[in-house]
Structure 1
Amino acid sequence: MVISVLIFDFDGLLMDTETTLFECWRYEWRQHGLELDPARFFADHGGDVTEQRYAELARAVGPGYDRAASHARRIAYREELHATLGPAPGISEWFAEAAGLGLRLAVASSSPTHWVHGHLTRAGLLSRFEVVACGDEVTGHKPDPAVYLLALRRLGIAPEAAVAFEDTPHGVAAARAAGLRCVAVPNPYAARDRFGAADMVLRSAATTTLTRLLGELAAPSPAAGRR
């Protein structure tokens, strides 16, 4: 079946909010003279682990930890980082090419609706998407395929007609569980050797055109390239 729809993850794929997330938490740890270990920071699922992160920081700081002040300071710093955050490299070019090819676009994210819509609106991207499916609309988070299945239902298509784009191994697992082909563009904190389930792994969306990418996915020979 010919691919007619592109379904994108949001965080770390369309916009590098994974880096702003880590940086705002590292900033807050450093306010207390502490260092945050990136190897232990990111969860292997798409659920919200904010409270666990505050609990870990509270244990590290001790009895004097002020959670309310910590939260306010961290959020203010992250908003500063988001003020100039745009689409990830190559994404704007993919969107322009997709429009020329007549491809439909969708988002399937584990993040809540207000978060995804807010960032897409600020970046001037929301109107490009026919469907936006978010984590607060389903009961399971990636690697559970629920949000991808929701996107497919709203699009009214079979999974064979679409390809997903993900930046994490658990995102790839969710897409594959929904029956989708999946192209991985690993975020800076995801080990590339964990993306064996992806049909293709790219260093960046800027490394290839959509026409070439879709041609390779449609080829009868294995297209699981690494670029």
Structure 2
Amino acid sequence: MSKLQALLFDVDGTLADTERDGHRVAFNMAFEDAGLDWSWDEGLYGELLAVTGGKERIRFYLEQFNTDFEKPENFDDFVKGLHESKTNFYTQLMAEGKIPLRTGVERLIKEAREAGMRMAVVTTTTPANVTALLESTLGPDSESWFEVIAAGDIVPAKKPAPDIYYWALEQMNLTPEDAIAFEDSSNGIQSSAAANLKTIVTINEYTKDDDFSDAVVVLDHMGEPGRPFTLLSGETFGQDYLDLALVHKIANA
């Protein structure tokens, strides 16, 4: 076994397919609620994912895709209010159980917990979004399973900057060699790799064409017994679903 001590999980796209069916839908609900005629379809939202952070994504949309919009004088408050509304709609969608965890995620997290493995969430999404997803999928006490919730604006520079990973490792008193990250996107792997973390990537429809050359393993999903993953790159030692033993092997390779 390796000296692996902690699993560091991204959220959006990694734990659940929240982007297309969660965040995008919630943004559109917030726009409609504010009387705006904006609508982010799946194709446009894929382009907006080039930028991490909800408030940043709204600004990017107005800078690149809706340049005719006349910004109000209190533009910062306008963006902040829109994002808060979006978060409320998102947590509502989560509470209604609209978005399940991805294949293999619940099994791996519960196995890690039973084994006493330290875990953290490392994401650019807001803490409220993290809570909503965890409680709606893993149960009301599940946030406590994670030693650190590194989320939202806790550091100024969001992914692809490595700052959020640096912060999480510091809070846990760990070195990069003590942990392994789980990501799904180009911004995510750039962030974790810059923090010198080995990273397992599970792609999704939005990120399948991203550059994951810095990942140690790239899969289509974590897999389940009887529902194997597809290995896209790396070494999985003959196994066809990701369990804690395989994570140790990957970390120690």
Q: How does 1:49-68 map to 2 (within 5 A)?
A: 49-53=57-61
The aligned amino acid for 1:130 is E
- 1:144, 1:26 → 2: CA distance? 28
- Conservation of the 8 A alpha-carbon contact between 1:131 and 1:155: yes
Distance 1:140 1:102, change over 3 A: same
The aligned amino acid for 1:116 is V
Alignment equivalent of 1:92, drawn from 97, 106, 109: 106
Distance 1:32 1:111, change over 3 A: closer
- 2:130, 2:123 → 1: CA distance? 8
Alignment equivalent of 1:174, drawn from 181, 186, 191: 191
- Conservation of the 8 A alpha-carbon contact between 1:166 and 1:182: yes
TM-score by length of 2: 0.70
- 2:153, 2:40 → 1: CA distance? 32
How far does residue 5 in structure 1 lie from its aligned partner after superposition? 0.4
- 2:120, 2:104 → 1: CA distance? 17
Gaps of 5+ in 1: 220-227
Distance 1:33 1:3, change over 3 A: closer
Q: Secondary structure at the match of 1:49?
A: helix
Report the equivalent of 2:173.
156
Gaps of 5+ in 2: 71-77, 224-228, 230-240
How far does residue 139 in structure 1 lie from its aligned partner after superposition? 1.4
- 2:156, 2:245 → 1: CA distance? 35
How far does residue 130 in structure 1 lie from its aligned partner after superposition? 1.0
**Which has the larger displacement, 42-51 or 14-23?**
42-51
Paired-residue identity, %: 27
1:113 is the counterpart of 2:127: yes
The aligned amino acid for 1:216 is I
- 2:39, 2:196 → 1: CA distance? 43
Q: How does 1:114-129 map to 2 (within 5 A)?
A: 114-123=128-137, 124=139, 125-129=142-146
- 2:40, 2:13 → 1: CA distance? 22
Distance 1:79 1:4, change over 3 A: closer
- 2:110, 2:149 → 1: CA distance? 19
How far does residue 121 in structure 1 lie from its aligned partner after superposition? 3.2
The aligned amino acid for 2:247 is L
Distance 1:139 1:193, change over 3 A: closer
Q: Secondary structure at the match of 1:18?
A: helix
1:83-124 alpha-carbon deviations (Å, 9 max, x no partner):
212322211100121123321110111122233233323432
Count the aligned residue pairs. Answer: 211
Distance 1:80 1:210, change over 3 A: same
1:216 is the counterpart of 2:230: no
Q: Secondary structure at the match of 1:205?
A: coil
- Conservation of the 8 A alpha-carbon contact between 1:46 and 1:170: no
Distance 1:191 1:100, change over 3 A: same
Alignment equivalent of 2:47, drawn from 32, 40, 50: 40
Distance 1:57 1:32, change over 3 A: farther
How far does residue 52 in structure 1 lie from its aligned partner after superposition? 3.6
Distance 1:33 1:49, change over 3 A: closer
- 2:134, 2:121 → 1: CA distance? 10
- 2:93, 2:38 → 1: CA distance? 21
The aligned amino acid for 1:105 is M
- 1:135, 1:77 → 2: CA distance? 17
Distance 1:79 1:178, change over 3 A: closer
- 2:218, 2:205 → 1: CA distance? 13
Distance 1:194 1:46, change over 3 A: farther
1:182-207 alpha-carbon deviations (Å, 9 max, x no partner):
11112320134511111111111223
